Amino acid sequence: MHPQPAHNVLSSALENPSVKAVFLKIDWRLLPLLLVAYMVAYLDRINIGYAQLQMKQTLPFDDAVYGLGAGMFFIGYFLFEVPSNLLLDRIGARKTLLRIMVLWGLAASAMMFVSTPLQFYVVRFLLGVFEAGFFPGVILYFTYWYPSARRGQVIAIFMSATTIGSLVAGPLCGFILKYFDGFAGLHGWQWLFLAQGLPAIFIGFLVYLLLKDKPDQAPWLSTEEKAVVENAFRHDIKEVAGKADGTFLQMLQDPKAYLLALVYFFLLGATYTMVFWVPTLIQSWGVKDLFLIGIYASIPNAAGIIGMILIGRHSDKWHERRWHFAVCVVIAAVGLFTTTLFQGNLVGSILALAVAVIGIASATPLFFALTSEYLSAGAAAGGLALISSLGNLGPAVSPSINGLILRSTGDNIYSTYFVMALYLLSGTLLLLAMRPASVRGLPAAASAH
């Protein structure tokens, strides 16, 4: 009798009703609150894309100033992400997330007071400093609760917050900009930053009060349920894997960690260029009403939410990340290229953008599912943060490059080509850099079956 493929054995184990019930219980405890927290974080990060439509009319900002300010966030993020995650591994997720969310809420709200380019740069930098560690911290937190075979869908659900945030951001930001402009003597963009910054502080306290750091500390899991979780980790199988007992210092000497960071650099640089640029792009398609720009921007994101969860689930089922990622970035590039063929056709452009967003939204969860499998438990805290922080330099650079492209050419098509190239580079590099674990032989956990 031929042995079953490893991913089939693992899938069968995870489909056991009692195992599914335990992880479903964990899902409902962790994911809703963390999803909302990340949605607020994402809104505070990207609402500048909508605010700048008004800020450039009331402040001495042009596209180059805006591009540099948008990118300053990621410089602060880069500098403080690794220290934040190493601290989380020592003091726990609850305390770390509380500190992060309160401080970033204050910085996000303070954006309403900027009046010069220098102030704009400083507050955006501080927002990055304070928010640093939230995303890699939650990904690290998931490695405490979910074996790698369940992480693709879980990370996709969590990261759907970015797409839901984009879906909500369009109508919400457009509404505030249009209807609050002039209320109480403030511009619409000032109300925008205040209304979307303060909720982070409240949610930070909820995270601290309602979550637990690890499964063995959860009073809502029985002894039997905790044993199910422990058994799932004991029999985990990884699609790609580094040294099982590697440390953070050993990871610093691993070339593949830096290749993963470069993949993320290209991926995130392209994605945030799109995020910051989409309102302006839609405006260039002949839509002038700010509220309508927000509505149209939300349509592709609705498609992205569905696509990323289905693709994440499919990736878990087959326990394959590399080719799923590569296909997603190709979908993104093809969708963006198609928008260039629909110049003057608003409906066609929006539909093509929806195709692109399916690929864009799905790629990042797959990347972090793969990365969390590659890193050993000892290297996960610092490794996830290091790869994320180096990758976050991409959005620090790419919006400025895009701003210069727009300034020198005056044509959105060249910006589209720039973003497409970044996506295709990320997919090609990942396929070349990472080999599946099955090529090198299955990890010891597989033989336990």
Q: Please write the tens of the pLDDT for every residue from 43-83.
A: 887 788 788 888 878 887 777 787 788 778 878 888 888 88
What's the fold here for domain 6-447?
A: Growth Hormone; Chain: A; (1.20.1250)
Angle among Cα 37, 155, 273 to the nearest 5 degrees reads: 75
pLDDT score recorded for residue 239 = 62
Are 128 and 75 a contacting pair, CB within 8 Å? yes
What are the backbone dihedrals phi and psi of residue 232, each rounded to the nearest 5 degrees, phi first?
A: -65, -40
Is residue 2 pLDDT above 70, yes or no?
no
Residues in the chain: 449
Q: Which pLDDT tens digit goes with each residue over 36-51?
A: 999 998 888 778 878 8
pLDDT score recorded for residue 241 = 57
Is residue 10 pLDDT above 80, yes or no?
no
pLDDT score recorded for residue 185 = 87
Is residue 1 pLDDT above 60, yes or no?
no
Query: Best-predicted range by mean pLDDT among 240-254, 312-326, 428-442?
Result: 312-326
User: For the chain, what percent of residues have pLDDT higher than 90?
Assistant: 36
Longest dimension (CA), the chain: 78
Place of tokens 């979307």: 196
Give the containing element (helix H, strand E) for 389.
helix 377-391
pLDDT, average across residues 21-46: 91
pLDDT score recorded for residue 316 = 83
Query: Best-predicted range by mean pLDDT among 89-98, 292-301, 322-331?
Result: 322-331
Mean pLDDT over the full length of the chain: 84
Are 328 and 423 a contacting pair, CB within 8 Å? no
How far apart CA 311 and CA 157 sit, in angstroms, is 11
Cα 119 from chain centroid? 27
Are 45 and 39 a contacting pair, CB within 8 Å? no
**Which residues, at least 6 apart from 311, have a Cβ–Cβ distance to it below 8 Å?**
156, 324, 328, 358, 362, 366
Angle among Cα 374, 376, 381 to the nearest 5 degrees reads: 100
Q: Which two tokens stand for residue 165?
A: 């945030």
**Which residues, at least 6 apart from 1, have a Cβ–Cβ distance to it below 8 Å?**
none
Q: Which two tokens stand for residue 97?
A: 């997330």
pLDDT score recorded for residue 264 = 95
Is residue 174 pLDDT above 90, yes or no?
no
pLDDT interval class at 153 (50, 70, 90) = confident
pTM for the model stands at: 0.76
pLDDT score recorded for residue 243 = 55
Give, as one character, the DSSP assignment of residue 116. Answer: S
Place of tokens 């690290």: 140
pLDDT interval class at 6 (50, 70, 90) = very low
Query: Best-predicted range by mean pLDDT among 9-13, 201-205, 291-295?
Result: 201-205
How far apart CA 192 and CA 48 sit, in angstroms, is 9
pLDDT interval class at 312 (50, 70, 90) = confident
Place of tokens 């056991």: 16
Q: Which pLDDT tens digit goes with each residue over 177-234?
A: 889 988 988 898 899 999 988 999 999 999 999 999 999 999 999 999 999 999 988 8
More confident of the two residues 340 and 330:
330
- For 423-438, the DSSP string reads HHHHHHHHHHH---HH
Query: Best-predicted range by mean pLDDT among 239-253, 308-322, 372-386, 414-428?
Result: 414-428
User: 26-58 burial string, b = 16+ CB within 10 Å, else e?
Assistant: bbebbbeebbbbbbbbbbbbbbbbbbbbbbeee
pLDDT score recorded for residue 287 = 86
Are 352 and 331 a contacting pair, CB within 8 Å? no
More confident of the two residues 101 and 4:
101
More confident of the two residues 230 and 449:
230
How far apart CA 32 and CA 36 sit, in angstroms, is 6
Q: Using CA of residue 286, residue 287, residue 293, residue 295, what is the dihedral sign?
A: negative
pLDDT, average across residues 391-398: 84
pLDDT score recorded for residue 409 = 83
pLDDT, average across residues 342-352: 87
pLDDT score recorded for residue 13 = 53
In the three-class reduction of DSSP (H, G, I as helix; E, B as strand; rest coil), residue 4 is classed as: coil
Place of tokens 């939650």: 138
Give, as one character, the DSSP assignment of residue 247. Answer: -
C-alpha distances in Å from residue 282, one per residue of 5, 28, 50, 93 = 47, 37, 11, 39
Is residue 445 pLDDT above 50, yes or no?
no
pLDDT score recorded for residue 207 = 93
- For 36-76, the DSSP string reads HHHHHHHHHHHTHHHHHHHHHHHSS--HHHHHHHHHHHHHH
pLDDT, average across residues 415-436: 91
**What are the residue boundaries of the structural domains of the chain, listed by start?**
6-447
Picking from 285, 287, 300, the residue whose alpha carbon sits closest to that of residue 352 is: 300
